[in-house]
Amino acid sequence: MIKGISFLRPAKTAADYGKLANFFSALGFTAGHGWDEPASRGASFLAPLANLEFVDGAMPSTADILVEVLHLDAVRETALTWLRSQVEGEADARITAIADTDWKSRTFTVTPIDGHSFTFWEWADPLKGKPVAVEGDLSAAGMRFAIVAARWNAVITERLLDGALDALLRSGAARRHIEIVRVPGAWEVAAAARTIADRVTPSRGPVDAIITLGCLIRGETAHYEAIYNEVARGIGQSQQETGIPHSFGVLTCETLEQALNRAGIKAGNKGFEAGVAAIEMVSLRRKLLESNSMDSNDREDA
Ligand code: DLZ
Q: Which atom of ligand 1 is nearest to the CA of 184?
A: 19
Element (DSSP H or E) covering residue 42:
strand 41-42
Instruction: Check residue 62 and give its pLDDT.
Output: 86
Residue 75 CB–ligand 1 contact under 6 Å: no
Element (DSSP H or E) covering residue 84:
helix 72-86
Mutation choice for ligand 1 from 216, 235, 250, CB with most ligand atoms inside 8 A: 216
Q: Indicate the domain borders of the chain.
A: 14-123, 145-290
CA 262 from chain centre, in angstroms, equals 21
The angle subtended at Cα 291 by Cα 286 and Cα 297, nearest 5°, is 130
Instruction: Check residue 77 and give its pLDDT.
Output: 95
CA 114 from chain centre, in angstroms, equals 31
CATH of 14-123, one of 3.10.180.10, 3.40.120.10, 3.40.50.1980, 3.20.20.70: 3.10.180.10
Q: Which atom of ligand 1 is nearest to the CA of 151?
A: 11
CA 285 from chain centre, in angstroms, equals 15
Catalytic (active-site) positions: 223
Pick from 153, 71, 159: which is nearest to 120 by CA?
71
Residue 150 CB–ligand 1 contact under 6 Å: yes
Residue 185 CB–ligand 1 contact under 6 Å: yes
Q: pTM for the whole thing?
A: 0.66
* Residue whose CA lies nearest to ligand 1 atom number 15: 185
Element (DSSP H or E) covering residue 209:
strand 209-217
Burial pattern 173-206, b for ≥16 Cβ within 10 A else e, equals beeebbeebbbebbbbbbebbbebbeeeeeeeee
Residue 214 CB–ligand 1 contact under 6 Å: yes
User: How far does residue 270's CA lie from ligand 1's centre (Å)?
Assistant: 19
Low-confidence ranges of the chain (pLDDT < 70): 1-2, 291-302
**E strand map for 101-208:** 105-113, 116-123, 145-150, 178-183
Instruction: Check residue 3 and give its pLDDT.
Output: 72
Q: Which atom of ligand 1 is nearest to the CA of 223?
A: 4
Residue 276 CB–ligand 1 contact under 6 Å: no
Instruction: Check residue 1 and give its pLDDT.
Output: 60
Instruction: Check residue 41 and give its pLDDT.
Output: 96
* Residue whose CA lies nearest to ligand 1 atom number 12: 185
Residue 210 CB–ligand 1 contact under 6 Å: no
Helix (H/G/I), strand (E/B), else coil: 68: strand
User: How far does residue 278's CA lie from ligand 1's centre (Å)?
Assistant: 25
CATH of 145-290, one of 3.40.50.960, 3.40.30.10, 3.40.50.300, 3.20.20.210: 3.40.50.960
CA atoms within a 13 Å half-sphere pointing along the CA-CB vector of 132: 1
